[in-house]
């Protein structure tokens, strides 16, 4: 198996800024959450996905959405991408969905101004009136590394600075 990436925590300073911005809560809470962040891991030898763990407990009623600053970044080899999905069981039982369908983490995102901080935004799209509850430290999303190709006439020469949507041509 080829090793092509490494997970790491973002800096505490960046996490506190992002956490407080996303949740509107206090710095002291963000510091406690930061200390408990677990790096993504595969559950079994045959697992393709790396489980992302909830930095704190959350519940989502049907049609509710949550934006989760994970505190995680991924250093990815060129030619590879990290794709993010909800954990299969949560999608099956609760119809938990990524707001952007599939999260795409490019290899150059690691060097973005926000330290490559991975956010995950989920919606409970249950049509069975089920509330999903995830405990702190429980796996709620999974990431899979995949290779990708480029066209023969590719001429991309831009440099990433920002995060979400920052590479869109205007």
Residue 72's contacts (CB-CB under 8 Å, 6 or more residues apart) are 7, 8, 9, 10, 37, 39, 40, 52, 117, 118
Alpha helix ranges (H) inside 7-152? 12-23, 27-36, 88-94
Domains belonging to the chain, first-starting first, are 5-147 (2.70.40.10)
pLDDT for 170: 43
Residue 25's contacts (CB-CB under 8 Å, 6 or more residues apart) are 19
pLDDT for 157: 83
- Residues 6-16 have a mean pLDDT of 98
pLDDT for 161: 62
Alpha helix ranges (H) inside 55-166? 88-94
Asked if 145 and 81 count as a contact pair (C-beta separation under 8 A), the reply is: yes
């Amino acid at each position: 198996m080829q090793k092509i990436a490494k997970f790491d925590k973002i800096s505490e300073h960046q996490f506190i800024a992002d956490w407080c911005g996303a949740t509107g809560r206090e710095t002291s809470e963000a510091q406690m959450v930061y200390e408990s962040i677990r790096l993504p891991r595969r559950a079994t030898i045959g697992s393709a996905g790396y489980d992302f763990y909830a930095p704190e407990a959350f519940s989502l009623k049907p049609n509710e959405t949550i934006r989760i600053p994970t505190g995680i970044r991924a250093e990815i080899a060129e030619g590879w991408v990290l794709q993010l999905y909800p954990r299969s069981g949560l999608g099956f039982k609760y119809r938990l969905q990524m707001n952007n369908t599939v999260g795409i983490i490019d290899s150059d995102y690691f060097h973005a101004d926000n330290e490559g901080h991975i956010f995950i935004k989920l919606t409970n799209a249950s049509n069975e009136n089920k509330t999903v509850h995830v405990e702190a430290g429980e796996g709620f999303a999974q990431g899979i590394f995949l290779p990708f190709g480029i066209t023969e006439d590719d001429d991309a020469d831009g440099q990433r600075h920002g995060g979400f949507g920052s590479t869109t041509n205007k």
